Amino acid sequence: MNWKIMGIIMFVAWTCYLRIALADKGFIIHPDGSVSINGVEFGSVQNYVTSDYFKKNNMRCGTRPEGRVTPADNPSAVPGDCSLYLTRIAAEYAPERVALVIPVYFHVIYKNDGTGNIPDQRIHDQMQVLNEDFRAMANTMGSQGEDTMIQFELVQITRTQNDTWFNDQDMTNCKSTLGVDQTRNLNIYTNSAGGYLGYAYLPQEDAGSVEDGIVMLHDTIGGRDNGFSIYNQGRTLVHEAGHYLGLLHTFDSYNCENAYSSGDLIVDTPSESVEHYACSQTNTCNTPDPIYNYMNYTPDSCMHEFTPEQANRMVCSLINYRPLAYSTIPVSKLTPGMFNLLLEN
């Protein structure tokens, strides 16, 4: 077998094992606010997310592709414009006169002692951030990026007290109980996220399944300057929504290849060979690393952009893998607050 392919397979296998191993050990938020994971103790969640342990174990995001299957590896694999091994940039995935609107259900899961029972206002503020960044709204922190023409409508907030589900355990049962038609809606679940800031399921692998959706650490939910450590601008959900719409990490595969069939499958995101946890500029592949991209691991204050080709791939993923999960409306630009509303059923 080609050594390069072998390396990718080994990396994917290790990251999957890592997530399973950490989940088995358990991430526990104690009543006094301290946390423990894998036998390691931290005084608070904020101490944990800025720790070397957090970085070393790649806990910024739990989204992992199950594998990079190519037509050569599996002749039955169906090629597509935005598969897990290829991106084809096309004008049909660059809408100009319509916005693609995704309905959202927010499921708040909290402990018996009230931990995780975040207020409605934080969810409304988070929805505002999501739309500001995806639509690159003028006069907001998201204005420097690409307008993806994708936006989100909050349909309903549900609240469930369940300590097991809050600890990110028995989540298949949780999602089958709480989830609302995953083929037509984005379901977001807030709990401890198993020690990650969040994780999502890629449409190329899990679109419409019970598992489909996004799981978020409850502390990350909120608007600008929400007080949660260096992840305080609401951009963890922006990052995970990028995964939900088919984007990979900018450092995917950890090499310096920059093509539509390798790395993050996007050319206009400069290649990089490591993930970044700081705002300092580095050149790991002889060009400036994309530290400002939402799909990196930098602090929220650094992030401010999707690229045009990332927007193209997200629209492609929505149209081809989630055809029932959006509606279209004629619109040019969002105005602040336009979609930060709780819709009545």
The two structure tokens encoding residue 301: 């204050």
Token pair 């094992």 is found at 17
Which of 132, 240, 275, 305 is catalytic? The answer is: 240
* 240 classed as catalytic: yes
Token pair 């995917």 is found at 252
Q: Are 329 and 101 in contact (CB under 8 A)?
A: yes
Angle between helices 120-134 and 235-244 (to 10 degrees): 60
Q: Could you tell me which residues come within 8 angstroms of residue 224 by beta carbon, excluding any fewer than 6 positions away?
A: 125, 129, 141, 232, 233, 234
Neighbour count for residue 181 (Cβ, 10 Å): 12
The two structure tokens encoding residue 204: 């190329």
What is the C-alpha to C-alpha distance for residues 260 and 85, in angstroms, rounded to an integer?
8
Q: Are 214 and 198 in contact (CB under 8 A)?
A: yes
Q: Which residues are catalytic?
A: 240
